[in-house]
Copies of this chain bind each other. A is one copy, B any other.
Amino acid sequence: LASSSKSPGEFELIASLVRGLKTSRRTILGPGDDCAILAPSHKPLLYTIDSMVEDVHFRLAWGPPEKLGAKALAVNLSDIAAMGGRPTVCVVNLGVRPGLTQRFFDRLYAGLGSLARRHGVDIVGGNITRCAQLTITVALLGEVNRVALRRDTARPGDEIYVTGTVGDSSTGVRILDGRIKAHGDARRFLVERHLNPTPRLAAGAALSRMTPPPSVIDISDGLLQDLGHILERSRVGAEVDACAVPVSDAYQSVMGNVLSCALGGGEDYELLFCLRPGYTERILSRRLGIAVKRIGRIVRGKSLVVRDASGKRISTVAGWDQLRSRQ
């Protein structure tokens, strides 16, 4: 059992991961030894790990392997963005099941490597194992830009903003698995938002230059649940205006006025942030390089209240414990 823990063709796979990889000056030794060696960093480091598992997070039929490889890195880049940081170096663990070709992995690595290059990330090592499901796990290091943006610094009176639009990705996944019907441009847009999320690194970096530093999280679990993480860590409550939550035209054309995916759907990888009053959406959108909408404010207590256009409560979560179990 242990002696056959490696999949046949492992060396070809590693070769295809390493092939053509260019690393920056911060990488003293890349793949091929027991460890990679990195030059000392004189800034605080950021460190995160995330994993994508076949039939849990994706199906192969949904899109090309390039987008799969890129997304495995993108979800980690989004964590660095949410801390206001700059990504630097990653290692990749691949669980390989039977039935996948060398060509498939070449394409997967091409997508991963292309996104890494675009953001100046060195891929410095990897490990490959057999597994019943295809799994791609990326552990990513980054550097703090100016100050690290945390979940535990929101204060009553702060205004709550989100970048971009929310709910597209979870609508897209429902289209892909047939739970929702959609066609044409709307379908293409929503599916693309799911398969190819954009980590908001420039927006995160811009937020790290603000004083006082805002409290930030990326929307991976869903808007209300991720806001709940900030509330719990900061020990505050919030009021959210459901009508202010930004949704795309494509979302509206498919979902109408139903906000469930916008409020509760995951994998948007937009940033949600809380900052002292005094900004306008226009100023923030310009500064962050992406449209920004104000959706509510931080209050004392530990309740998350969601109101409709008339100000009526449409949902109240009475405590952080409840928010945690909403998934």
Chain A residues within 8 Å of B, Cβ to Cβ:
1-3, 5-6, 10-11, 28-29, 32-51, 53, 55-59, 78-80, 82-83, 85, 89, 91-93, 95, 124-127, 129-133, 135, 137, 139, 141-142, 144, 148, 150-152, 169-170, 173, 177, 194, 216-218, 221-222, 233, 264-267, 324-325, 327
Report whether A47 and B34 are in contact in the complex, using a CB–CB cutoff of 8 Å: no
Closest to A50 in B: B127
Is there an interface contact between B2 and A57, defined as CB atoms closer than 8 Å? yes
Known: A3-B222, A49-B126, A131-B133. 14 other contacts (CB 8 A): A2-B57, A2-B173, A2-B266, A3-B173, A33-B83, A35-B48, A37-B47, A38-B44, A39-B45, A40-B41, A47-B125, A49-B127, A51-B129, A53-B95
- Is the pair A1, B267 in contact by a Cβ cutoff of 8 Å? no
Q: For A51, list chain B residues within 8 Å (CB).
A: 93, 95, 127, 129, 137
The answer to whether B45 touches A177 (Cβ under 8 A) is no
Tell whether, in the assembled complex, residue A36 and residue B48 are in contact, meaning their CB atoms are under 8 Å apart.
yes
Q: How far is the CA of A56 from the CA of B94 in the complex (A)?
A: 14
**Contact in complex: A82, B34 (CB < 8 Å):** yes
A126 proximity list for chain B (CB < 8 A): 49
A308 CB to nearest B CB, Å: 23
By Cβ-Cβ distance, the 9 closest A-B pairs, closest first, are: A139-B139, A34-B82, A35-B46, A38-B45, A49-B91, A34-B79, A35-B48, A2-B173, A36-B47
| A47 in contact with B124 (CB, 8 Å) | yes
A148 CA to B190 CA, complexed, in Å: 48
> Are B170 and A33 interface neighbours, CB within 8 A?
no
A142 touches B35 (CB 8 A): yes
CB neighbours of A91 from chain B (8 A): 47-49, 139
A129 touching B53, Cβ below 8 Å: yes
**Which residue of chain B has the shortest Cβ distance to A173 in the bound complex?**
B2
Assess whether B47 is in contact with A131, with CB atoms less than 8 Å apart.
no
Rounded to whole angstroms, the CA-CA distance of A1 and B175 in the bound complex is 11
Q: In the bound complex, do residue A35 and residue B85 qualify as a contact, i.e. CB atoms below 8 Å apart?
A: yes
